[in-house]
Structure 1
Amino acid sequence: MLETVGLTAAEDEVYRLVVAAGRASVEEITGRSTLTASAVQRLLLSLESKGLVSVAEEGSGWFAAVPPEIALVPRLQHHSDALEQARVGVGDLVDIYRRSVPGGGAAEAIEIISGAAALRQHLRELQDAARYEVLWFRTAGYETMFLDSNRQHFEARTRGAQYRVLYEQAYFDGTGSVGNVVRGVRRGEVARLVPRLPLPMAIADRSVAVLPLASSDTLDYRRGLRAALVRGSSLLDVLISLFERHWEAGTPLRVTGEGEIDGAVATESASPSGDDRRVLSLMVAGMTDEEIAGQFRVSKRTIQRRIQRLMTLANAATRMQLGWHAARWDWV
């Protein structure tokens, strides 16, 4: 277990015995292990040189454990820092390689993934490699696109990677969906809600995307899942633009102190009146509040109040979001 911080399996065993006893002699540790006395003596001296134990009393043959938080935590942090530097270095080398190989970018732009296990593995790797950002479309269905474990999410957030996640309304019909969103937001995820999304998708560092190649209700999806891994290309640029367009129109989701989600969108049945639809049509067409007021022969303030009510109905934070919801729900 402690091989990561530079200890052999035998040193790990002996150190644990000393920690459990607080202080122990060579004879005592020999009696509690399958090691010989000479092996224990050698291992204790090695642990002493590594700063994990100290001689309790010169010439006594007794050794005391150095507290793990003093002996091991700095080693672990050093190892973690070294791994992070290596990971960044590898990522830089990959970027340099892809830029330097003639035609390599086009040849490697799309990779086909077959099977649920392979897709989940690529999703784990995508999050493990994320350095600063993960973008995600969360839709109803497509359970294979969403990992059961949150370890990758937590570790990516620890490294400083920001998660921006868009949920579609139907996602919340699933069992446990609200709890999933609450946990994500509390871990630092920035979440928004839209009425519908075109597909599930994950993008890491704007350099690689994963998305299924069939609808969730088709036989191809259920019988033989296939997905695409898309790397730097014009196709990836389109997917990123698709995400940003929906993100701009999304309604922010927040978690209350009681663990409830604040920011659910209005339902399609909450439809505006005929005059309100006309106001929306004129607003979407680009007319100013004054011009719309002139059409209705009312004050500009009246039109502004009416638009504000429509924004409340759609739970939209901006007029752009209102226009997007109006188009989605056929209000115009």
Structure 2
Amino acid sequence: MRPSTPPDALRLAGVDEIGERVYRQLLSVDVAHTDSLAIALDFSPDVVAERLAILSDAGLAVQVASGGFTAVDPRASLRSLADGHARRVDALRSVIPELAEAFDLNRREGARSSRTLVITGPEAIGDWYGRVSLGVEREMLAFDKPPYVVGVQDRLQGLALARDVDWRSLYGRESFNRPGRLDEVLQDIAGGEQARLTESVPVKLALADRKRAILSLSLNEREPEALVTRSPQLIDALVALFELYWDTAEPLVGGGSAGPRIRTPSTGRRTGRPPTPDERTLLTLLSADLKDEVIARELGVSTRTLRRRMQDVFTELGAMSRFHAGVEAARRGWI
């Protein structure tokens, strides 16, 4: 049957063209294994295994006890994904009029004395970020999003935390694509930052004391553009946007040598043997909902080796998915 889905519709779920073909093949059967899918679609088993992992992470497929995979009813899985995207899009659209008004006002007046101004270039943005960060007294709200054009960002944050500033940062998954970024975030958390993780954030943002904000207009690394504002109406809109994302994100806390973990209440008893250090590290990284590639890089292994280790842990826990493994690990007191 010829697909009627709009082109690239599943890309919003992180599924590429090959992944969509694997997904459609899964929809046509009850259970399929990696090898049979590879033969049916004329792909290598590694390619199919990688797409199955992506489909599982997106909640579109689940691994069963036999080791094969089955599709999750798209009426439930895709609707859930679509609803999540819709809420974020609506939230972003809600601030467009105010942002546009601020932008137009600045263009008309063209004066630095106005409440809102546009700045361009890494040096100018770095200078203004320094002013906002050094001037914060009580609270900083931040959306973290690459690229990073301010080299002293973490040092300025450390100074603010030392002054007992309440610093809340919201990270998207792409925040951890740069090697070493995870360690930097863990250090900030250890210093007192409150951090949460979500799929993605709409802009780069630093909002000080609910009075002054700097947010990205362009993420071009060579010629970035940002908006600095003291407009009360715009500040209120940005605070509301931040709180909307914050309320739906998962708390990210330091896990010592084990890495970051999602803060989940562990009401179950500790049972059986304790986890090995490698198992604890893997489980805490998995519970942070990071991509396989990011976790593999942090552990210094290939994605293929990572997935083999994941399967070993799933087998030990009697789990068939990341979510199931997280629940069982919490029940045993492993995380």
- TM-score range normalised by the length of the shorter chain: 0.3 to 0.5
**TM-score, L = length of structure 2:** 0.45
Q: Which has the larger radius of gyration?
A: 1
| TM-score normalised by length of structure 1 | 0.45
